[in-house]
Every structure is written in C-alpha cells, then in structure tokens.
Structure 1
C-alpha cells in the first residue's frame, strides 16, 4: 500500500534510500551526464562544484566532488561525506558505503561517517554491523559528556548528541522484539529532538507492536499535533485505530492524508490482511462507491477478498 507502510522510520543523514544492485565499490572517475569539464586546479574544481549545486543535478554533483579529490585545497573527509550523501540519493549504496569507509580509513573515529555508514547498513540489512557502529557512536558521545557508560535506560545527552544513532538502535531493537530497549532508545533521541514527529511516531509504533495501544495513541497524537502534514504519523495512527476496533477514527485519520475512496480502500486492505474478509469487502465496496470515477484497484481488491474468503471456507 502507498500510505499504509506499517513500518518505523529511520532518519538517515541523507534521507531514506532503497537497496541498490550496484556492486561497483570504487569511486567513479566520471559520471554519465555530468559533462566533459575536467578541472585543472582547485579553483576550477570549486567552480565546478558550485555550478553543479546550482543545477541541482545529482550526477553532476557527484562528478564535481569526485574531481575535487585530486586537489589539496579540499578536505577529503568533507568531500567523501558529500559523495556518500549523494550516492544515497542515487541509490548507489555500495558506492556510498565505500565513501564512508574512505573517511574511516583516514580517521576511524570520525563519528559522522561512522553514523552514516551504520544507518546505511541498516538499509542494507546488515544489522549486526550497524548495531556495533551505532553503539560506538553513542559510547563516544557518552565519553564526551563525561558519562562512564552509554545505556538506553540512563542516557545523558545534549543538543549535539547523535539522535539518529539512538533512533537507529531503537529501530534495530524493535526488529529483534526488544520493545523496552527500543522505547528507551527513542526516548534518548527525543531528549535531543523533542519536537521531531518522526521520533514520536516511532515510539508510538513500538508501543503498538507490544499491544500497548493507549501509549501508542498518545505518542502518535503528539507526532501529528507537532507536524500535521506528517503522512507516516497519520497512516500509523489509522492502522492503530483499526486494530483497536475504532474503525471510524481510523477512517478519519487516513482522511487527513488521502481522499475518502483511497482511505476506505486502505482500510479494506488492512482488514483483508487480517483475514476479516467480509469487513474488507464492505470497505472496498464503499471505496468504489465513493470514487468519482472507476477505481480499478478497489475493484481488484474486492475480487481478491471474495476469492480469499471462498478459499478460507473450503
């Protein structure tokens, strides 16, 4: 489903990215579509970077930053971090990983690269490596703040603390069905970013996973109250209300981010996945009736629900 993602949100340094099939881990010497300009000195390289940023062309920016690596005027750490960020946007996860590792090869304690790499590894389903790196990041932050040990239940943070790392560890803990630890990590992240709707939503979804619906509702309502346009917050709230048996409120939550027909179709899909085929068919039919024109997806879902109900009755 487009809106019912049923997932926690991982805040990456450069935004979420899908897995890439790109297996080339070397830094590209050229980038298709970036142009043929090759700088001969640092000033020209800086001009190329500025021009690529103005254009907004990601391929051109990767090319420009890669060319800048040849000149001493540039901090290679900054260059590789920018390349990693852009490669994430291009879904070139292997190249992003290599860029982060190039930074860490120069300085194994570069925390921004370590955190960025860890969050990337979560997307790449390499959870054990990610967890190790994230714990190193929060341990370093604890040491910076004079804390002997970094624990999710007793974290000490300030405005510079790595909230993305705490959020990532919360996500991993929820994946391992360690709900108490996950919520403690989210609370640590919220100490740093108390107004971030995504973190409140993750906390609420963690409560939801444990069947603690009132706590989940409170956290999710905080999220949408702080950021009324936050789609993930409303979709997760709709899911929560549906599972809680509060169908009319589920519909109202989804209506915040989509038309009536789509909201009814999404609720029907949830019901169908729950094996509640008659309820699903009712929602799908209401979606068809509410749509101002032919709604093929709702019709398809209605037929699928009927087929699944017939199969379950055999």
Structure 2
C-alpha cells in the first residue's frame, strides 16, 4: 500500500523538496542540525519520520523526511517531490523547488498539480512566458476532463476539482500584459470554482480598477469584504479606489477597518503625494501626526518629503 503524505503548509502552489542521497535526482543533501538524526531503514520508519516532522512543524525536518522517503516503494514519489518543492518554495529556495517540481514531472508528466506548482513558482521568478505555457496546459487538460475541447476563456467549464489557482494566475499574468478583459474572464472562471474566496474577488476588483471602471471595482471589493471582513488587501484596495474616485471620507472609512486613524490618514497622504497633490498630502500627514497618541516618525518623514516635493515642483 502507498502512504499518503499530507503537507501541512498552505500556499498557492503545489510543492515538494530535496533528496539527501540524491545526486542523480539533481537535489543536494539537506544539512540541518537534528534533521538527519534518524535515517529510516523501512517505509514504516520513513512514515514515522514524516509524521514527527509535521507534528514539530519544522520545515528542514520535513524536507529531510520527505527526501528520505524517496528511497522506499511504499510512497508516491511524485507526491513526495511536490511536497518538497512546496516547502522549498515557501522558504524561497526557488532553484531547489524548481528542480523538485521537474523531478515530479519526470516521474509523471501528466501530474497537473506538479505542473501548476511549477508554473506558480515560475511567476514568482518572473519567468512569465514559461509559466503561462504550463498554466494553459493545466486548464486545457481540465477542460478536456470535463468534455470541453478548448480552454478559451469566457465560457469555461469547471467543477469543484478544477484548478482555480491556475485560472487566477492566468488572470494575474493577463493583467500584467494589460489584457484586462481576458484577465477578468480568467478570474470569473476561478470564481466559478471558489465563489466565496475574497482573494479572487479582490483580484477581479483590481483588474477593473486598472481600467478605471470604478463601479465594477467597488462591487468586486465589496463582495470580497463581505466574504471575509478582515481581509486587509480588499479594504486597502477599496480605500485606494475611493480616494482615486474623489470619495476621500469613504476612503478613510475603508482604511479604518484595518488600521488606526493616524495610519489611515498617513496612507491617504502618501497616495495624494504620489498623485502630485501636495497640498492635500501635507494636510493629511499633519492630521495623521495630530491623531497619533505618540510621536509618529513615518508621518513626520512623509510630511517633510511632501513639502520638499512641493517646493521643487513650485520652482519649475
């Protein structure tokens, strides 16, 4: 029987790790104090080592345990490599994570979780074209699984097992390329799969915001905060939206959901300064300083910067 390995980390990518005695697999050994204290001699011992490392929550120990398990037939090698890559990605060992994902795909080129994880890693590494190719392969395979011939956006067919992370990532890439309509179609596909996910509503809202469609952006952000009232990025984006929309009091109220009055005024001041609205910025920074119960160096520095930028602008 094959042991099922459950990773205890939650990230957007699938992942795995490196090997200890694995030069032939392209992954160097893990040198961590205590991680290699036990070298399993059987699949059962390897499973115990994995369980112990997960209970401890020690990433180095988990990587070592998954690596050791690669030597035993009881385990799914692809799953082990994915877990290793996920952990290496989490601690920003991107080269090791990429190698682990590629080892997983050498074992099983059709394992879509490994392909998706590698694509999400490549986005972090700014290798967007490679990532897009892999993501399109993932969603095309899923559409084929559900009986749809093409992976064209706009009418995607999905179910609960469909790869929402891939659709979301394709949306992000499309926004980077200033292909807003296509980005929003991808986000809607992701939302078909995860309709209650605040992050996806926020990404959709930001895509509308980038094209100055403020009513649609507001609607999406509002859905996000209704789904997850403490989701900071949605409130922050909503504050930015309201400020750009000329609704300063509502911008302040949105930011106050996630920060103090002084911090909210300082953030609005920074937005105004970046917009070249120096009079408004200096007023907001001064209000932030007055609202803070103690000395607020960031707002003081911003106030001085805004005054300097205003002075330089007046001399032109």
Normalised to the residue count of structure 1, the TM-score between the two structures is 0.91
Q: 1:28: how far off?
A: 3.4
**Does the Cα contact within 8 Å between 1:204 and 1:215 map onto a contact in 2?**
yes
What is the RMSD computed on CA atoms of the aligned residues? Answer: 1.4
Q: How does 1:52-67 map to 2 (within 5 A)?
A: 52-67=53-68
Q: For the residues of structure 2 that align with 1:40 and 1:281, how far apart are their CA atoms?
A: 68
Q: How does 1:116-127 map to 2 (within 5 A)?
A: 116-127=117-128
Task: Report Cα offsets for 1:43-75 as digits up to 9, x if no partner.
Answer: 221111111111111111111111111222211
Runs of 4+ in 1 over 3 A off after TM superposition: none
Q: State the match for 1:297 in structure 2.
A: 298
**Does the Cα contact within 8 Å between 1:14 and 1:86 map onto a contact in 2?**
no
Report the 3-state secondary structure (helix = DSSP H, G, I; strand = E; otherwise coil) of the residue aligned with 1:309.
helix
Q: For the residues of structure 1 that align with 2:169 and 2:199, how far apart are their CA atoms?
A: 12
Q: State the match for 1:162 in structure 2.
A: 163
Q: How does 1:1-314 map to 2 (within 5 A)?
A: 12-13=12-13, 26-33=26-33, 34-314=35-315
- Mean alpha-carbon deviation: is it higher for 88-97 or for 222-231? 88-97
- Mean alpha-carbon deviation: is it higher for 209-218 or for 98-107? 98-107
Q: 1:88: how far off?
A: 1.5
Q: For the residues of structure 2 that align with 1:50 and 1:163, how far apart are their CA atoms?
A: 29
**Does the Cα contact within 8 Å between 1:31 and 1:62 map onto a contact in 2?**
no
Q: Which runs of 5+ in 1 are unaligned?
A: 1-10, 16-24
Report the 3-state secondary structure (helix = DSSP H, G, I; strand = E; otherwise coil) of the residue aligned with 2:154.
helix
**Does the Cα contact within 8 Å between 2:13 and 2:118 map onto a contact in 1?**
no
**Does the Cα contact within 8 Å between 2:239 and 2:254 map onto a contact in 1?**
yes
Report the 3-state secondary structure (helix = DSSP H, G, I; strand = E; otherwise coil) of the residue aligned with 2:178.
coil
Q: 1:227: how far off?
A: 0.5
Q: For the residues of structure 1 that align with 2:14 and 2:131, how far apart are their CA atoms?
A: 17
Normalised to the residue count of structure 2, the TM-score between the two structures is 0.91
Q: For the residues of structure 1 that align with 2:224 and 2:163, how far apart are their CA atoms?
A: 20
Q: For the residues of structure 2 that align with 1:31 and 1:41, how far apart are their CA atoms?
A: 21
Larger RCO, structures 1/2 (Cα 8 Å, 6+ apart): 1
Q: For the residues of structure 1 that align with 2:74 and 2:147, how far apart are their CA atoms?
A: 35
Q: State the match for 2:7 in structure 1.
A: none
Q: For the residues of structure 2 that align with 1:226 and 1:53, how far apart are their CA atoms?
A: 31
Task: Report Cα offsets for 1:115-165 as digits up to 9, x if no partner.
Answer: 111111111100000100000011001111111111111211111111111
Q: 1:30: how far off?
A: 2.1
